[in-house]
Amino acid sequence: MPTYRFSAPARLVVLGSGSGTNLQALLDAASEEEYAARVVAVGADRPGIEGLARAERAGIDTFVERVRDHPDRSAWDAALAEQVARHEPDLVISAGFMKLFGPRFLDRFAGRTLNTHPALSPSFPGMQGPQDALDYGVKVTGATLFVVDGGVDTGPIVAQVPVAVEPDDDAAALHERIKTAERAMLVDTVGRMAREGFSVEGRSVRIGS
């Protein structure tokens, strides 16, 4: 059973594609001495995003790896893995990173790459979690933190948080409320994983021993 334990503080590389509010929550938490993890680098698949600006303001290394700068997806995947590896992460956190990892990335970081998804898995995988939840008419949705595997939002679940759907919600309003809960879950869970370690056996993830 793969088991991970880290010397404090654990090294986090965070990957994003957009506004980076989950990243900011991790940066804020990690600025506290007692939080057992530090963000050592932030990567993106496109330049000019707020997530990179947040990292720069915090004085953290950044990198950008664009698919279009590579002959194919596999070459991009290998280059992304190289960039991440340079920062010697204990955990890789995909927080709003809008690309699927390929086999070359997962060969290196599977088991210790986490992703957040704005729905309660296994419901509503993919890019439109909040809209799909509204369209289905569920009364409760939420966010899921999981260990990345080769599928779309299919990996072993680490933590989930429920969020009630309100009668007048549109996808944007619902997603904003989900993100508030998602950020708290991410910070709390990554902190516990960094402090206590974790193991993955089949679909079961256990934090601590």
Amino acid letter at 107? D
Residues lying near ligand GRF in the complex (CB under 6 A) are found at 16, 18-23, 51, 95-96, 116-118, 179, 182
| Catalytic residue check, 175 | no
Q: What is the dihedral of CA 121, 26, 47, 117, to 10 degrees?
A: 0
C-alpha span between 7 and 41 (Å, rounded): 18
Taking a C-beta distance cutoff of 8 angstroms, is the pair 142, 128 a contact? no
Closest separation in Å from C-beta 166 to ligand GRF: 17
Residue 78 vs 119, nearer CB to ligand GRF: 119
Q: Measuring CA to CA, how many Å separate 177 from each of 46, 157, 169? A: 26, 21, 10
Q: How far apart are CA 61 and CA 13, in angstroms?
A: 10
Of the residues 70, 87, 117, 175, only one is catalytic, namely 117
Q: How many CB atoms lie within 10 A of CB 101?
A: 24
Q: For residues 141 and 193, which CB has a smaller minimum distance to ligand GRF in the complex?
A: 141
> CA Rg, the chain, in Å?
16
**Active site members:** 117
